Structures are given as structure tokens and as C-alpha cells.
Amino acid sequence: MRAMKRTRFGGMFLSAALAVALAACGSGGAPAASGGAGPSGASANKTTVTVGTTPLVSSAPLYVAKDMGFWDKYGLQVEIKTFQAAQPISVATAAGDLDVSATGVTASLFNLFEGGKKMYLVADKGRIWPGQHFQALLVSNRAWDEGVTSAAALKGKKIGITQTGSTFDYLLGKYLEQNGMKLADVTRTPLGELSNMASALESGQVDAAILPQPLAGKLINEKKGHALVWLDDAVKTDLLAIAYSPKFAQNRDVAVRFMQGYIEAVKWYMDHVFQAKNPNDPEYQKALAIVGKYTSEQPDQVAKELVYVDPGASLWADNIQEQLDWYKAQGFVKGNIRAEDVIDLSFQQEAMQKLGR
């Protein structure tokens, strides 16, 4: 994608170099928790923005942004709506029932776009990254006892996923490929929701499943499953993204203000939470408590599940194309859609410019 390009909603892309330079000048402190006057005027006249996400620690920057007032000063009232899988969030966002999607990049998203139900990937939400424990490939106790203790032993086994073409398919496929296998070497079993996957693994209805935290840690700690591998250490990818519905993207003023608050929250999260040096820091403890409120987890558990986000919330566009290419190769995505059709970096770049002004 070229450094300067006219957007589909008007305006220009800023150069990537300028965006990085401006990031260094951006605000690093958290705003006051109470709302104040922002670019749109008094906080009493806030614009409502609806965001769909899953109730996982990977949504930590969103929870921090909402409860610590990062959007308040931009005149926004953000409502977070939770779902149990990524696909319904994409469907609702493409239909305009949600303004913003904050979840995984899936084949469904690309297929919706190809079919005319569009949404635009605009920022990073979280990555599968070395050193963190967010996504685990678990093996059931029954299968483990039968010798499924290596990648090669997965051949012919039944693996639980949410839906066909989900992020679980992608992570599973990439891991198998790294070990000389392919997706067709296992039997994938769509189970819909994460809780169904966990139950199926525990009962031995599936031999293995990829599960995020906290479900992965819970099953391991309760000795109801075995961790074959933490995929964060095996597959490096920009798995989670912020996406705008077409209607919301056209309301550029509000869309950029939302992005400003989000970027500030991400930077604060990375500085004070993900990269925290002092576990007794009051800001760190406050953030863990906020995330725990939304995920129904204790702060010490939240601390084990934190996910890396690009500090400027910049989307890894080349990796999104790699994911799309893989989905096409598996037959999960049809047509001639390209990643650049779905990606619009201009909101993040314009927000960075405003933050550095």
C-alpha cells in the first residue's frame, strides 16, 4: 500500500514515517475519569458509539479506555457489547448494527466484504506474540493418555474450533504447517462458542482444541486438559483488529475522535499495564481491576493473560494479506478480494496527527 493515498471516505493517508514520529509526541497520561469538554463541546452532548467484542482480556485497552475516561474528552459515550464468537460481531458490524468491531480477523469478514457487506480494518487490537500466554492448543486427558503428546500425533484426530474459517482454523493450520502437516490431516469440529469447545475438550468429545485465556489456564490448572503448545510462541500474527462499519466510517469526525481516544488508551495500556515494571503500581492494579470487572476474572489472573498491542495501534497490513492468502488457499475465501480493499489506515494516521499537534 502506498504511503500517500486518497481514502475511500475522503482525505489523505499520512506517511508511515510521519505517523511514527507523531506517536513519539502523543499523550501518554490517562485523562481524568470524569468527562469534560472535548472537541465536540460539553460532555453532556456525547455521541454514542457501539463496540462489539468478546469478554476476554485481549480487549483490555477498550475496557481501560471506557472506564478511565479516554473517550470522554472527545465527546463520546462508548457502549461495549459482548459476544461469544468473532463471526456474529463481523456480521453485525457489516450490517451497521454495531459501529465498531473489536475481535479476530476471520474468513467471514473477507467473505462479507466480497458479498457487499463491508467493514474496514482500521487499527490493531492485539497480536499473537512471543512471550505471552493467550492462545493454547490443548489436548484432552483421554487423548493425552493415548499418546497425543506431539504435533505429529494430531494427525487424524478431532480438533474443536468455533466456526469454519475462524481464527482458530488459521492458528491450527499455521501450527500444523510448521510441523510438516496440513489442515486436512485433522478432523475439525465446529462447536460455535468457546464454552462449548472447553466442555467438549474436558469430556473427551474432541481430542484437542485451541482455546484462549482464561479457559485455557482454567482447564490446565484443574488438570482437565494438557497444553501441547502455547501458540503465541509458535505463530506470530496480527490476529485481532479494530474495524469500522461503513456508516461509522463515513462519519469521519466521530470515527477519528474514537480513534484518538483508543490510541491514547493503547499507549497507556502498553506503558502502564503490559510493560509494567512494578506490580504494586496503583495504576497497574487499577487497570487489572477494570479488566477483571469486564471479564469476571481476578486481577492476578488478568495479569497472566495480557496481550501485546502495537503501541500506536497500527495494523500490521502485510500480515493481514498473509492471512487472507492462507484463507484463500484453504478455500475459505472466494473471489478476488485483496487485503488493501478491506484496510483503511487513514483513521489511525489522522488520529496520530491530531494527537501530535
- pLDDT tens for each residue of 250-290: 999 999 999 999 999 999 999 999 999 899 999 999 999 99
Question: Same CATH fold, 135-233 and 16-129+238-355?
Answer: yes
Task: Evaluate if residue 312 carries a pLDDT over 60.
Answer: yes
CATH of 16-129+238-355, one of 3.40.190.10, 3.20.20.80, 3.40.50.970, 3.40.640.10: 3.40.190.10
- How high is the mean pLDDT of the chain? 87
Domain boundaries, given as residue ranges, for the chain: 16-129+238-355, 135-233
Q: What is the pLDDT of residue 44?
A: 59
- Class for the domain spanning 135-233: alpha beta
Q: How confident is the model at residue 99 (pLDDT cuts 50, 70, 90)?
A: very high
Q: How confident is the model at residue 163 (pLDDT cuts 50, 70, 90)?
A: confident
Give pTM, 2 decimals: 0.82
Q: What is the pLDDT of residue 67?
A: 96
> Do the Cβ atoms of 271 and 259 come closer than 8 Å?
no
